[in-house]
Amino acid sequence: MTDSGKTAAKPTTVGVELGARRYDVRIGAIAAADAAEAIADALGAVTGVAVLVDGSVGERSPRVAPLVEALRARLPNVKRFDLRAGEACKTLAEIERTTEWLAEQGYDRRGAVVGVGGGAATDHAGFAAAVYLRGVRFALVPTTLLAMVDASVGGKTAVDLPAGKNLVGAFHQPSAVVADLGFLDTLPAREVRAGLAEVVKCGFIADAPLLTILETASMVDGKLPIEVAAELVARAVRVKAEVVAEDETEGGRRAILNFGHTVGHALEAASGYDLLHGEAVGLGMLAALSLGEARGLGTPALTARATALLARLGLPVDLRPRLSAEVLARVTVDKKRRGGAIKFVFVPSAGETKLVDVSPDEIAAHFLQRGSGARA
């Protein structure tokens, strides 16, 4: 993902301003000792730390073991527990497995959790921290681009049910987030592309210049120059931090962060999670732009721009064959449903959003009766 052979700039720090619960997101190529120091300082006095590691990252990345050792040098009773890889860890059964282990190890209310991994692992770690002993402190070390720009920031923690994605969860803010770009060096190219979808989302909802950067950035062998990666992550985190600071529990403006997620979550779940989250969100953005066009809340040019950008980044844009009655039925159990309506995020122009309640019948009529291509 990054050209780490070059000297990295000084890490960037983005604050998530939540009063007494504010925390920092550090972004850059960060040495294990520095990451451990930042986490230790943020957690403060603790009786022990459980490091929950995504199983696939633990096997793939050489940066995990030094981080755990650095945490052991700074904090008491540090023990590592490997989670099931990827989305498989986001179930209530896996949360039970983790919390049983926490209890067996004797972690008390002054203990803390450190989650290391992609978005599924950070969601799992945050939710486990939220429910264990009615809440313990936690910090996150996101290891995928998607987790760095989205899942690790904002305090949303959740696991999935068979009926849909993220249906059981809690708001629980971390004490610190350390986004070490060095983890991206061993990230598979498909995971890189999936993470860029969430960066595209931030461009459409709040930071239009991000789209231009993505449209012109060069990638060689699946890598971005580290300074470009750092800028993309920092800008996306700033978008999310600003929105979360204004609306922590999604009572209003925070809902704009769901652009592309309403249909995206349904596509992701219906695929049996063969679609990565970012791939599904990209398709969901095209669905939202298509429906917005039909409502007069968008333009063909904007939809075409999104389609071209997602395709340039190597993300799927074949929305038509992926939508079905089964997928659209899953939209109706989305957690954003209010009564009989689904709250959709529309983007009339880059950087502008509008929240609208849409009936399931209108969604079905648009995509099933009129076709479901990007310009449906």
Domains of the chain: 12-234 (3.40.50.1970), 259-369 (1.20.1090.10)
Q: Is 246 a catalytic residue?
A: no
Residue among 6, 27, 54, 1 at smallest CA distance from 186: 1
Confidence label for 201 from pLDDT (cuts 50, 70 and 90): very high
Residue among 58, 13, 61, 20 at smallest CA distance from 38: 13
Q: Is 198 a catalytic residue?
A: yes
Q: Is 366 a catalytic residue?
A: no
Q: Is 134 a catalytic residue?
A: yes
Residue among 139, 90, 93 at smallest CA distance from 119: 90
What is the per-residue pLDDT for 1? 53
Q: Check 63, 137, 165, 254 and give the catalytic one.
A: 254
| Amino acid residing at 75 | L
pTM recorded for the entire structure: 0.90
What is the per-residue pLDDT for 58? 82
Coil/strand/helix, residue 251: coil
Positive or negative: CA dihedral 362, 364, 369, 372? positive
Mean pLDDT of 270-285: 94
Pairing of strands 23-28, 78-83: unpaired
What is the token pair recorded at 358?
A: 């849409």
Q: Is 96 exposed, middle or buried (0-12, 13-18, 19+ CB in 10 A)?
A: exposed
Q: How many angstroms separate the CA atoms of 205 and 257, rounded? A: 8
Please give the sequence-ordered ranges of beta strands (E in DSSP) within 236-340, or none if there are none: 337-338
Confidence label for 374 from pLDDT (cuts 50, 70 and 90): very low
Q: Check 84, 172, 277, 322 and give the catalytic one.
A: 277
Residue among 129, 114, 102 at smallest CA distance from 74: 114
Contact criterion met (CB below 8 Å) for 16 and 23: yes
> How distant, in Å, are the alpha carbons of 34, 52, 135 from that of 64?
14, 11, 25
pLDDT at 292 over 90: yes
Q: Check 201, 223, 265, 366 and give the catalytic one.
A: 265
Q: Check 94, 198, 248, 268 and give the catalytic one.
A: 198
What is the per-residue pLDDT for 337? 59
Q: Check 87, 191, 248, 250 and give the catalytic one.
A: 250
